[in-house]
Protein backbone atom coordinates (compact mmCIF):
# COMPACT_ATOMS: atom_id res chain seq x y z
CA UNK A 1 0.00 0.00 0.00
CA UNK A 2 1.29 3.43 -0.92
CA UNK A 3 1.58 5.89 1.95
CA UNK A 4 -0.37 8.29 -0.28
CA UNK A 5 -3.43 5.99 -0.26
CA UNK A 6 -3.48 5.14 3.44
CA UNK A 7 -7.04 5.77 4.75
CA UNK A 8 -7.44 8.38 7.48
CA UNK A 9 -10.51 9.19 9.56
CA UNK A 10 -10.62 13.00 9.77
CA UNK A 11 -14.06 13.49 11.32
CA UNK A 12 -16.25 11.35 13.59
CA UNK A 13 -19.71 11.97 14.99
CA UNK A 14 -22.60 10.08 16.56
CA UNK A 15 -26.10 10.66 17.83
CA UNK A 16 -26.91 10.37 21.49
CA UNK A 17 -27.78 6.74 22.24
CA UNK A 18 -31.18 5.95 23.70
CA UNK A 19 -32.81 2.75 24.94
CA UNK A 20 -35.28 1.09 22.56
CA UNK A 21 -38.76 2.54 22.98
CA UNK A 22 -37.55 5.71 24.67
CA UNK A 23 -36.64 9.19 23.40
CA UNK A 24 -35.62 8.21 19.84
CA UNK A 25 -38.43 5.72 19.27
CA UNK A 26 -40.08 7.89 16.61
CA UNK A 27 -37.06 8.13 14.29
CA UNK A 28 -36.55 5.66 11.49
CA UNK A 29 -33.04 4.39 10.93
CA UNK A 30 -32.22 6.75 8.06
CA UNK A 31 -33.59 9.66 10.10
CA UNK A 32 -30.98 8.81 12.73
CA UNK A 33 -28.15 8.56 10.21
CA UNK A 34 -28.86 11.62 8.04
CA UNK A 35 -28.05 14.40 10.55
CA UNK A 36 -24.83 12.63 11.54
CA UNK A 37 -23.79 12.34 7.88
CA UNK A 38 -24.40 16.07 7.37
CA UNK A 39 -22.46 17.07 10.46
CA UNK A 40 -19.59 14.69 9.79
CA UNK A 41 -19.18 16.01 6.25
CA UNK A 42 -19.21 19.60 7.53
CA UNK A 43 -16.52 18.70 10.09
CA UNK A 44 -14.39 17.10 7.40
CA UNK A 45 -14.66 20.10 5.08
CA UNK A 46 -13.75 22.39 7.96
CA UNK A 47 -10.72 20.24 8.77
CA UNK A 48 -9.54 20.23 5.15
CA UNK A 49 -10.48 23.83 4.50
CA UNK A 50 -12.47 23.23 1.33
CA UNK A 51 -15.53 21.44 -0.01
CA UNK A 52 -15.08 17.74 -0.73
CA UNK A 53 -16.55 15.37 -3.29
CA UNK A 54 -18.27 12.46 -1.56
CA UNK A 55 -17.64 9.15 -3.27
CA UNK A 56 -19.92 6.83 -1.31
CA UNK A 57 -21.85 6.27 1.91
CA UNK A 58 -21.31 2.87 3.56
CA UNK A 59 -23.44 2.05 6.61
CA UNK A 60 -23.88 -0.98 8.79
CA UNK A 61 -27.36 -2.06 9.87
CA UNK A 62 -28.81 -5.26 11.30
CA UNK A 63 -32.57 -5.12 11.80
CA UNK A 64 -33.88 -2.28 9.63
CA UNK A 65 -36.49 -2.44 6.89
CA UNK A 66 -34.03 -3.00 4.04
CA UNK A 67 -34.16 -0.81 0.96
CA UNK A 68 -30.43 0.10 1.16
CA UNK A 69 -30.45 2.28 4.25
CA UNK A 70 -27.15 3.91 3.29
CA UNK A 71 -28.67 5.27 0.08
CA UNK A 72 -31.79 6.47 1.91
CA UNK A 73 -29.59 8.17 4.47
CA UNK A 74 -27.42 9.84 1.81
CA UNK A 75 -30.48 11.31 0.13
CA UNK A 76 -32.03 12.33 3.46
CA UNK A 77 -28.76 14.09 4.31
CA UNK A 78 -29.13 16.19 1.11
CA UNK A 79 -26.02 14.78 -0.52
CA UNK A 80 -25.91 15.04 -4.28
CA UNK A 81 -28.04 12.40 -6.01
CA UNK A 82 -24.86 11.10 -7.68
CA UNK A 83 -23.60 9.84 -4.30
CA UNK A 84 -24.47 6.13 -3.99
CA UNK A 85 -24.81 4.05 -0.85
CA UNK A 86 -24.11 0.53 0.37
CA UNK A 87 -25.53 -1.18 3.45
CA UNK A 88 -23.58 -3.89 5.28
CA UNK A 89 -24.87 -6.50 7.72
CA UNK A 90 -22.23 -8.12 9.90
CA UNK A 91 -24.53 -7.96 12.92
CA UNK A 92 -22.83 -6.26 15.89
CA UNK A 93 -19.69 -5.71 13.82
CA UNK A 94 -21.56 -3.95 11.02
CA UNK A 95 -20.54 -0.37 11.79
CA UNK A 96 -16.87 -1.24 12.15
CA UNK A 97 -16.98 -3.44 9.04
CA UNK A 98 -18.50 -0.53 7.08
CA UNK A 99 -15.56 1.69 8.09
CA UNK A 100 -13.13 -1.04 7.10
CA UNK A 101 -14.86 -1.54 3.74
CA UNK A 102 -14.74 2.16 2.93
CA UNK A 103 -11.10 2.32 4.00
CA UNK A 104 -10.22 -0.55 1.69
CA UNK A 105 -11.72 1.40 -1.21
CA UNK A 106 -9.31 4.23 -0.42
CA UNK A 107 -6.41 1.76 -0.17
CA UNK A 108 -7.40 0.62 -3.66
CA UNK A 109 -7.08 4.16 -5.01
CA UNK A 110 -10.40 5.98 -4.48
CA UNK A 111 -9.32 9.58 -3.94
CA UNK A 112 -12.72 10.91 -2.83
CA UNK A 113 -14.05 11.39 0.70
CA UNK A 114 -16.07 8.40 1.91
CA UNK A 115 -18.60 8.45 4.74
CA UNK A 116 -18.97 5.23 6.72
CA UNK A 117 -20.46 3.99 9.96
CA UNK A 118 -23.68 2.45 11.13
CA UNK A 119 -27.23 3.13 12.25
CA UNK A 120 -29.86 1.16 14.11
CA UNK A 121 -33.40 1.95 15.15
CA UNK A 122 -34.35 -1.02 17.28
CA UNK A 123 -37.53 0.88 18.14
CA UNK A 124 -38.77 0.81 14.54
CA UNK A 125 -37.33 -2.54 13.45
CA UNK A 126 -40.01 -4.40 11.50
CA UNK A 127 -41.60 -7.68 12.49
CA UNK A 128 -40.07 -10.52 10.48
CA UNK A 129 -41.93 -13.67 9.44
CA UNK A 130 -40.66 -17.02 8.19
CA UNK A 131 -42.99 -19.89 7.26
CA UNK A 132 -45.86 -17.81 8.59
CA UNK A 133 -44.30 -17.44 12.06
CA UNK A 134 -42.86 -14.18 13.49
CA UNK A 135 -39.28 -14.34 14.71
CA UNK A 136 -36.99 -11.98 16.61
CA UNK A 137 -33.87 -12.58 14.52
CA UNK A 138 -32.65 -14.61 11.60
CA UNK A 139 -30.41 -17.60 12.21
CA UNK A 140 -26.73 -16.86 12.82
CA UNK A 141 -25.78 -20.44 11.91
CA UNK A 142 -27.43 -23.11 9.75
CA UNK A 143 -29.01 -26.35 10.95
CA UNK A 144 -26.36 -28.63 12.37
CA UNK A 145 -24.34 -25.81 13.97
CA UNK A 146 -24.80 -24.17 17.37
CA UNK A 147 -26.93 -21.03 17.13
CA UNK A 148 -27.28 -19.66 20.66
CA UNK A 149 -28.87 -16.37 21.61
CA UNK A 150 -26.15 -13.95 22.65
CA UNK A 151 -27.27 -13.87 26.30
CA UNK A 152 -27.05 -17.63 26.88
CA UNK A 153 -23.76 -17.61 24.95
CA UNK A 154 -22.45 -14.97 27.38
CA UNK A 155 -23.57 -17.21 30.24
CA UNK A 156 -21.54 -20.05 28.72
CA UNK A 157 -18.48 -17.79 28.54
CA UNK A 158 -18.97 -16.82 32.18
CA UNK A 159 -18.91 -20.50 33.12
CA UNK A 160 -15.95 -21.31 30.87
CA UNK A 161 -13.83 -18.46 32.25
CA UNK A 162 -15.04 -18.65 35.86
CA UNK A 163 -16.47 -15.11 35.77
CA UNK A 164 -18.89 -14.89 38.67
CA UNK A 165 -21.84 -12.56 39.20
CA UNK A 166 -19.92 -10.17 41.43
CA UNK A 167 -17.20 -9.69 38.81
CA UNK A 168 -19.73 -9.08 36.05
CA UNK A 169 -21.62 -6.58 38.17
CA UNK A 170 -18.38 -4.79 39.06
CA UNK A 171 -17.49 -4.45 35.39
CA UNK A 172 -20.98 -3.13 34.55
CA UNK A 173 -20.75 -0.64 37.42
CA UNK A 174 -17.39 0.52 36.06
CA UNK A 175 -18.91 1.20 32.66
CA UNK A 176 -21.73 3.29 34.11
CA UNK A 177 -19.41 5.15 36.49
CA UNK A 178 -16.96 6.09 33.74
CA UNK A 179 -19.75 7.13 31.37
CA UNK A 180 -21.30 9.36 34.03
CA UNK A 181 -17.94 11.05 34.61
CA UNK A 182 -17.71 11.74 30.88
CA UNK A 183 -21.27 13.05 30.73
CA UNK A 184 -20.80 15.44 33.62
CA UNK A 185 -17.45 16.68 32.28
CA UNK A 186 -18.83 17.22 28.77
CA UNK A 187 -16.47 14.56 27.46
CA UNK A 188 -18.97 13.34 24.87
CA UNK A 189 -20.11 16.79 23.72
CA UNK A 190 -17.73 17.22 20.78
CA UNK A 191 -18.66 13.86 19.24
CA UNK A 192 -22.44 14.23 19.59
CA UNK A 193 -24.96 15.51 17.05
CA UNK A 194 -27.84 16.61 19.25
CA UNK A 195 -31.30 15.67 18.02
CA UNK A 196 -34.55 17.48 18.76
CA UNK A 197 -35.69 14.62 20.96
CA UNK A 198 -32.40 14.11 22.79
CA UNK A 199 -29.25 16.11 23.40
CA UNK A 200 -27.21 13.59 25.41
CA UNK A 201 -26.97 9.88 26.09
CA UNK A 202 -29.79 8.88 28.40
CA UNK A 203 -28.79 5.38 29.54
CA UNK A 204 -25.91 5.71 32.06
CA UNK A 205 -27.33 5.22 35.55
CA UNK A 206 -26.31 6.48 38.96
CA UNK A 207 -26.39 4.23 42.01
CA UNK A 208 -25.57 1.13 39.97
CA UNK A 209 -23.69 -0.32 42.94
CA UNK A 210 -27.01 -0.46 44.78
CA UNK A 211 -29.12 -1.47 41.77
CA UNK A 212 -27.06 -4.27 40.25
CA UNK A 213 -27.61 -6.86 43.03
CA UNK A 214 -31.38 -6.52 42.59
CA UNK A 215 -31.47 -7.86 39.04
CA UNK A 216 -32.53 -11.51 38.78
CA UNK A 217 -30.63 -14.06 36.72
CA UNK A 218 -31.79 -14.20 33.11
CA UNK A 219 -30.57 -17.63 32.11
CA UNK A 220 -30.52 -20.91 34.02
CA UNK A 221 -27.54 -23.18 34.50
CA UNK A 222 -27.42 -26.90 35.25
CA UNK A 223 -27.77 -26.00 38.92
CA UNK A 224 -31.21 -24.46 38.47
CA UNK A 225 -33.26 -21.62 36.94
CA UNK A 226 -32.00 -18.89 39.27
CA UNK A 227 -28.31 -19.74 39.28
CA UNK A 228 -27.11 -17.91 36.18
CA UNK A 229 -24.85 -14.88 36.57
CA UNK A 230 -25.92 -12.88 33.49
CA UNK A 231 -28.61 -10.30 34.33
CA UNK A 232 -30.24 -7.32 32.69
CA UNK A 233 -27.97 -5.14 34.81
CA UNK A 234 -24.71 -6.60 33.52
CA UNK A 235 -25.99 -6.80 29.92
CA UNK A 236 -26.25 -3.95 27.44
CA UNK A 237 -29.52 -2.21 26.67
CA UNK A 238 -30.90 -2.62 23.14
CA UNK A 239 -30.76 0.89 21.75
CA UNK A 240 -31.26 3.39 18.95
CA UNK A 241 -28.42 5.45 17.50
CA UNK A 242 -26.09 6.21 14.61
CA UNK A 243 -22.39 6.94 14.14
CA UNK A 244 -20.48 8.10 11.05
CA UNK A 245 -16.85 8.89 10.21
CA UNK A 246 -15.33 10.71 7.23
CA UNK A 247 -12.39 8.95 5.57
CA UNK A 248 -9.88 10.35 3.07
CA UNK A 249 -6.50 9.24 1.79
CA UNK A 250 -3.32 10.50 3.41
CA UNK A 251 -2.62 12.37 0.22
CA UNK A 252 -5.92 14.25 0.50
CA UNK A 253 -6.02 15.08 4.21
CA UNK A 254 -3.76 18.13 4.10
CA UNK A 255 -3.00 19.17 7.68
CA UNK A 256 -6.14 17.62 9.16
CA UNK A 257 -5.36 15.40 12.16
CA UNK A 258 -6.98 12.00 12.27
CA UNK A 259 -6.81 8.26 12.74
CA UNK A 260 -5.01 6.29 10.03
CA UNK A 261 -6.16 2.70 9.65
CA UNK A 262 -3.07 0.50 9.97
CA UNK A 263 -4.54 -3.01 9.99
CA UNK A 264 -7.82 -4.85 10.33
CA UNK A 265 -9.02 -8.42 10.72
CA UNK A 266 -12.30 -10.32 10.71
CA UNK A 267 -12.06 -13.93 11.86
CA UNK A 268 -14.55 -16.69 12.55
CA UNK A 269 -14.71 -18.67 15.79
CA UNK A 270 -16.84 -21.38 17.38
CA UNK A 271 -20.47 -20.30 16.84
CA UNK A 272 -21.30 -21.79 20.25
CA UNK A 273 -19.14 -19.07 21.89
CA UNK A 274 -19.46 -16.09 19.54
CA UNK A 275 -18.49 -13.53 22.15
CA UNK A 276 -14.86 -14.65 22.20
CA UNK A 277 -14.35 -13.68 18.54
CA UNK A 278 -12.46 -10.42 19.20
CA UNK A 279 -9.49 -12.26 20.70
CA UNK A 280 -8.25 -13.78 17.45
CA UNK A 281 -9.08 -10.61 15.49
CA UNK A 282 -7.13 -8.37 17.86
CA UNK A 283 -4.16 -10.71 17.90
CA UNK A 284 -4.11 -10.77 14.10
CA UNK A 285 -4.08 -6.98 13.73
CA UNK A 286 -1.31 -6.70 16.30
CA UNK A 287 0.76 -9.27 14.41
CA UNK A 288 0.08 -7.59 11.07
CA UNK A 289 1.28 -4.23 12.40
CA UNK A 290 4.19 -5.66 14.36
CA UNK A 291 3.06 -4.15 17.67
CA UNK A 292 1.92 -5.50 21.04
CA UNK A 293 -0.94 -4.57 23.35
CA UNK A 294 1.61 -2.67 25.46
CA UNK A 295 1.90 -0.24 22.53
CA UNK A 296 -1.85 0.53 22.48
CA UNK A 297 -2.97 3.83 24.04
CA UNK A 298 -6.74 3.25 23.83
CA UNK A 299 -8.88 0.12 23.51
CA UNK A 300 -12.60 0.13 22.70
CA UNK A 301 -14.61 -3.09 22.85
CA UNK A 302 -18.35 -3.27 22.19
CA UNK A 303 -19.57 -4.23 25.66
CA UNK A 304 -22.51 -6.45 24.78
CA UNK A 305 -22.31 -8.32 28.11
CA UNK A 306 -19.98 -7.96 31.07
CA UNK A 307 -19.23 -11.70 30.94
CA UNK A 308 -18.41 -11.59 27.24
CA UNK A 309 -16.26 -8.46 27.55
CA UNK A 310 -14.34 -9.88 30.50
CA UNK A 311 -13.73 -13.20 28.74
CA UNK A 312 -12.12 -11.26 25.87
CA UNK A 313 -10.16 -8.98 28.19
CA UNK A 314 -8.93 -11.91 30.29
CA UNK A 315 -7.76 -13.67 27.12
CA UNK A 316 -5.87 -10.56 26.00
CA UNK A 317 -4.36 -9.95 29.47
CA UNK A 318 -6.23 -6.66 29.71
CA UNK A 319 -8.10 -7.70 32.85
CA UNK A 320 -7.89 -10.02 35.84
CA UNK A 321 -10.55 -10.81 38.46
CA UNK A 322 -9.35 -7.75 40.41
CA UNK A 323 -8.28 -5.35 37.65
CA UNK A 324 -9.40 -3.84 34.35
CA UNK A 325 -6.80 -2.04 32.27
CA UNK A 326 -7.67 1.69 32.34
CA UNK A 327 -7.06 1.89 28.58
CA UNK A 328 -10.25 -0.14 28.04
CA UNK A 329 -13.39 1.94 27.38
CA UNK A 330 -12.19 4.78 29.57
CA UNK A 331 -15.44 6.69 29.01
CA UNK A 332 -17.67 3.68 29.58
CA UNK A 333 -19.05 1.45 26.87
CA UNK A 334 -22.21 -0.20 25.62
CA UNK A 335 -23.09 -1.54 29.08
CA UNK A 336 -23.71 2.06 30.08
CA UNK A 337 -24.47 3.85 26.81
CA UNK A 338 -26.49 1.11 25.10
CA UNK A 339 -25.98 -1.09 22.06
CA UNK A 340 -27.52 0.07 18.76
CA UNK A 341 -26.41 -3.12 17.01
CA UNK A 342 -25.44 -1.92 13.53
CA UNK A 343 -23.92 1.32 14.85
CA UNK A 344 -21.96 0.13 17.89
CA UNK A 345 -18.75 -0.78 16.05
CA UNK A 346 -18.73 2.70 14.52
CA UNK A 347 -19.44 4.25 17.93
CA UNK A 348 -16.20 2.59 19.08
CA UNK A 349 -14.26 4.40 16.34
CA UNK A 350 -15.93 7.71 17.23
CA UNK A 351 -14.86 7.13 20.84
CA UNK A 352 -11.28 6.43 19.72
CA UNK A 353 -11.32 9.63 17.67
CA UNK A 354 -12.34 11.62 20.73
CA UNK A 355 -9.89 9.90 23.07
CA UNK A 356 -6.90 10.15 20.74
CA UNK A 357 -7.45 12.98 18.25
CA UNK A 358 -9.76 15.43 20.03
CA UNK A 359 -7.99 14.98 23.37
CA UNK A 360 -4.56 15.63 21.88
CA UNK A 361 -2.74 12.29 21.93
CA UNK A 362 0.60 12.66 20.12
CA UNK A 363 1.16 11.47 16.58
CA UNK A 364 1.89 7.77 16.49
CA UNK A 365 -0.46 6.88 19.36
CA UNK A 366 -2.37 3.67 18.65
CA UNK A 367 -5.96 2.61 19.30
CA UNK A 368 -7.97 -0.56 18.72
CA UNK A 369 -11.71 -0.95 18.14
CA UNK A 370 -13.22 -4.43 18.27
CA UNK A 371 -16.56 -6.24 18.42
CA UNK A 372 -17.91 -9.76 18.74
CA UNK A 373 -20.37 -10.92 16.10
CA UNK A 374 -23.28 -13.36 16.24
CA UNK A 375 -22.60 -16.62 14.44
CA UNK A 376 -19.07 -16.74 15.76
CA UNK A 377 -16.86 -13.91 14.48
CA UNK A 378 -14.68 -11.12 15.71
CA UNK A 379 -13.73 -7.89 13.95
CA UNK A 380 -10.93 -5.54 14.98
CA UNK A 381 -9.20 -2.47 13.55
CA UNK A 382 -5.95 -0.79 14.57
CA UNK A 383 -5.63 2.99 14.13
CA UNK A 384 -2.72 5.43 14.47
CA UNK A 385 -2.92 9.14 15.26
CA UNK A 386 -1.60 11.36 12.48
CA UNK A 387 -1.06 15.10 12.87
Catalytic residue among 30, 176, 264, 339: 339
Render pLDDT for 30-66 as a digit per residue (tens, 0 to 9).
999 999 999 999 999 999 999 989 999 999 999 999 8
pLDDT at 136: 78
Give the C-alpha separation, 88 to 48, whole Å: 28
Class of 3-127+239-256 per CATH? alpha beta
Q: What is the mean pLDDT of residues 302-314?
A: 98
Q: How far is CA 194 from the centre of its chain?
A: 19
- Strands (DSSP E) found in 106-257: 113-121, 128-130, 133-135, 239-249
Render pLDDT for 349-381 as a digit per residue (tens, 0 to 9).
999 999 999 999 999 999 999 999 999 999 999
C-alpha closest to that of 187 among 19, 325, 359, 347: 359
Is residue 339 flagged as an active site residue? yes
Its pTM stands at: 0.96
Residue 173 pLDDT greater than 80, yes or no: yes
C-alpha closest to that of 12 among 95, 76, 73: 95
Catalytic residue among 40, 92, 236, 329: 92
pLDDT at 219: 86
In the chain, domain spans: 3-127+239-256, 141-187+261-386
Q: Any idea which of 38-42, 148-152, 279-283, 297-301 has the lowest mean pLDDT?
A: 148-152
- What is the longest distance spanned by two Cα atoms in the chain? 64
Q: In terms of pLDDT, which residue wins out, 131 or 386?
A: 386
Q: What is the mean pLDDT of residues 125-142?
A: 87
Is there a common fold for 3-127+239-256 and 141-187+261-386?
yes
Pairing label, strands 258-268, 7-14:
antiparallel
Helices and strands, counts by H and E, the chain: 10, 14
Render pLDDT for 264-275 as a digit per residue (tens, 0 to 9).
999 999 999 999
Give the contacts of 4 (CB within 8 A, at least 6 positions apart): 249, 250, 251
Render pLDDT for 99-124 as a digit per residue (tens, 0 to 9).
999 999 999 999 999 999 999 999 99
CATH classification of 141-187+261-386 is 3.40.47.10, yes or no?
Answer: yes
Is residue 236 flagged as an active site residue? no
Amino acid sequence: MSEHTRPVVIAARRTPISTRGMRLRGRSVHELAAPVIRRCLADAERAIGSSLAVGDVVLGNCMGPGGNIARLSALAADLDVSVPGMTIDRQCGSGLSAIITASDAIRAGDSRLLLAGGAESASTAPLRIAHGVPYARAAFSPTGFPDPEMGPAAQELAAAFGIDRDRQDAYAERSHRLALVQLEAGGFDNELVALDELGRDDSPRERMTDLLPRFPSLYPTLDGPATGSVTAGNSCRISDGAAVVAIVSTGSRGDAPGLALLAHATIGCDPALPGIGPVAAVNQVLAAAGVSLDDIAAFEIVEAFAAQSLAVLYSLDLATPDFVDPRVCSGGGALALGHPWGASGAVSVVRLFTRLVREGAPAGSLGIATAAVGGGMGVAALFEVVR
